Copies of this chain bind each other. A is one copy, B any other.
Amino acid sequence: MAGNSFGNLFRITTFGESHGPAIGVIVDGSPAGLPVDVAFIQAELDKRKPGQSKITTQRKESDKVQILSGMFENKTTGTPIAMLIPNEDQRSKDYSHNQDIFRPSHADYTYQTKYGVRDHRGGGRSSARETAARVAAGAIAKLLLKQTGIEVLAHVSSVGRIDAPNVDYHDAEAFTALREANIIRCADPATAEEMIACIDGIRKQGDTIGGKVSCYITGCPVGLGEPVFDKLHAELGKAMLSINAVHGFEYGSGFSGSRMRGSEHNDIFVRGADGAIQTRTNYSGGIQGGISNGMPIEFTVAFKPVATIMANQQTIDAEGEAAEIQGKGRHDPCVVPRAVPIVEAMAALVIADYWLLNKTVKL
């Protein structure tokens, strides 16, 4: 099935395997007349690229983006924007040992069974490398949203059992500065130190650890989201769950909301200082009935630990015989620092799409 597209009016289609010549994306439906700063797209990609720090994979990819279409004199023309990111450090031989064996908790077995064939070099299409294309596309969406005053901000809110306290995200620049000041991308400096130490220890043991990314969207007008199946949080949830290694999504009060009473959980409407309608609490996470209510949108995404570890593991081979596998590739001990720009990109794509959709709902 043609499943490599996402979005309705602002729609992306990605392609490319981790060990082919390139990956890329077509952004279709971006409005014409949007100024695009290629340096901004590149900066977003740089936040996702491998080899950034001691707590990310040492695979080297410069992830330099090329724009092939859809732009004229640095503005979008309304035609599809194609972006290409060549693969550089492929080292396919690193993966030859994976040809006939299924790595535990990877997509090897399911791809092989589904398609009857698989590009066994580094995960092929199931590689997290695919997400670079999403980040490039998400950068265009972010530029569109900035024009309307919407900011999409994420940071690492948990690593293993280490949880960050609530952080203030209302000043986008300050939030981003705090977050980018450390290699884990947590906007709380003290927790960041703790998280980094944790990951570094786990890395030295050849193991991996899960974590969470929290995302905040400010400046969102009332009215985004389509009722019933295309509720705003349903589309955000799908967007997040489509990111590699994500096992959970919650917004507003989330799972803890299921333990609360209605009398505690209801968000009371009040007039703000500026006269705007707002709610006293935000258990609704900025969304009521699937539609944004003008409060900040808040959600959290749970990532499982990376499946590639350095220890020997039991498994089976392509013939179904018992086998043993050793981790050899260059992988991340924890996915969350590099996941931050991916979460932001996917969120920006959803909001841009629904912002466009919302232009057509009333006379």
Contact = CB atoms under 8 A, between A and B. Distances in A.
Nearest to A229: B6
Nearest to A304: B257
A111 interface: yes
Kindly name the residue among A77, A81, A84, A358 whose own CB sees the greatest number of chain B CB atoms within 10 A.
A77
B109 A269 contact: yes
Contacts of A2: 7-11, 28-29
Contacts of A82: 15-16, 22, 24
A100 to B, nearest CB: 13
Contacts of A264: 305
B68 A24 contact: yes
Interface stretch (A40-48, A168-176, A277-285): A277-285
Contact of A104 (B66, B208, B210, B267): B267
A323 to B, nearest CB: 9
Interface string A108-129: 0111011111110000111000
Interface in A61-83: 66, 68-70, 72, 75, 77-82
Contact of A79 (B17, B233, B260, B360): B17
Contacts of A361: 1, 31-32, 78, 114-115
**Copies of this polypeptide in the complex:** 4
Interface string A215-257: 0000000110111111101110111011000011111111101
B15 A69 contact: yes
A353 to B, nearest CB: 9
B233 A241 contact: yes
Contacts of A305: 257, 260-262, 264-265
A348 to B, nearest CB: 15
A349 to B, nearest CB: 10
A110 B293 contact: yes
Nearest to A70: B15
Contact of A3 (B24, B226, B253): B226
Contact of A263 (B13, B81, B309): B309
B79 A32 contact: no
Interface string A190-234: 000000000000100001111110000000001101111111011
Interface of A: 1-11, 13-17, 20-24, 26, 28-29, 31-34, 66, 68-70, 72, 75, 77-82, 84, 102, 104-107, 109-111, 113-119, 124-126, 130, 144, 147, 158, 160-161, 202, 207-212, 222-223, 225-231, 233-235, 237-239, 241-242, 247-255, 257-271, 275, 277, 279, 283-285, 288-293, 302-309, 311, 313-316, 320, 322, 356-363
16 contacts: A1-B361, A4-B28, A17-B79, A23-B69, A26-B26, A78-B115, A109-B293, A110-B291, A110-B293, A208-B262, A237-B237, A241-B249, A249-B249, A254-B302, A257-B304, A266-B307
For the complex of A and B, the 9 pairs showing the least CB-CB separation, nearest first, are A107-B289, A3-B226, A248-B250, A2-B11, A208-B262, A2-B29, A110-B291, A238-B238, A32-B115
